[in-house]
Chain A
Amino acid sequence: MVISVRVPTDLQVVEEAVDVVARHCLASGLTPRAARFNLRVALSEALANAIVYGNGLDPSKSVEVRVVVASNGFAVHVCDEGSGFNPAEIPDPTLPERIGRPDGRGLFLIRQLVDDVSFNDRGNAICMILRRA
């Protein structure tokens, strides 16, 4: 099964989009905690990054969310229309010199909350894997 949602470049719709996807994943067998917490936070981060940094808040652009539900887990793809970024360049926000900064925790949280993270070569699409328990 595949769940597809096209999200406008609008930060105000992030919560609703995350809610829709989380409900579908819960109904498809994702554990309640993963649906309530891991998926919601990780997807919220990925969408915010796509909207702000990927699409540059350009309302003419959108973000595609596609969830592939398989027997062993969930693959959550988020793709924006930007030129991409290099995830290896994002510093660790828990370092003493960075912990007092208000930004830079999004990708870190995604990596902590899902089982696997990968990007396409261009760097404008992230794939987050949540395995079934």
Chain B
Amino acid sequence: MSFSAKKDPKGVIVIGVDGQLIVGNRHELKQRLTEALEGGERKFLIDFSNTGYIDSSGLGVLVSLSRKIREADGELRLAGLNEDLRTLFELTKLDTLFNIADSAAAALASF
């Protein structure tokens, strides 16, 4: 499991989650985004195209980051969720809380 980060030409920080987002690595994602937010970044996209599964701790970190970013007048979007991950968001009703795009390209176009 690992995270990749890059900044697209529109100034969006794109974080890729490779592997799982679970209790063992959720703090790393939180730290990366929090540091970027504190560094002045305001537009974030988390791309789950290469993600296996997310547990409730991972979902919790996303909820927590969403609030932080919103409070800083920033934007967080999610993209690339496979069928399993979409099911998770639907079961927990978190699909109502997040802006979710089908693909990273679609999400980036909407910023």
Q: Are B22 and A44 in contact (CB under 8 A)?
A: yes
Total interface residues on B, using CB and 8 Å?
A: 26
With A99-B93, A102-B63 known as contacts, the answer to whether A15 contacts B56 (CB < 8 A) is no
- Interface-facing stretch out of B8-16, B31-39, B84-92, B102-110: B84-92
B54-91, CB < 8 A from A: 54-57, 59-61, 63-64, 67, 84, 87-88, 91
Smallest CB–CB gap between A54 and chain B, Å?
14
For this complex, 13 residue pairs linking A to B, each with C-beta atoms less than 8 Å apart, are: A11-B24, A15-B1, A15-B22, A36-B52, A37-B84, A40-B53, A41-B55, A48-B57, A101-B63, A102-B63, A102-B64, A108-B91, A109-B91
**Residues on A facing B (Cβ under 8 Å):** 11-15, 33, 36-37, 40-41, 44-45, 48, 52, 93-94, 99-106, 108-109, 112-113
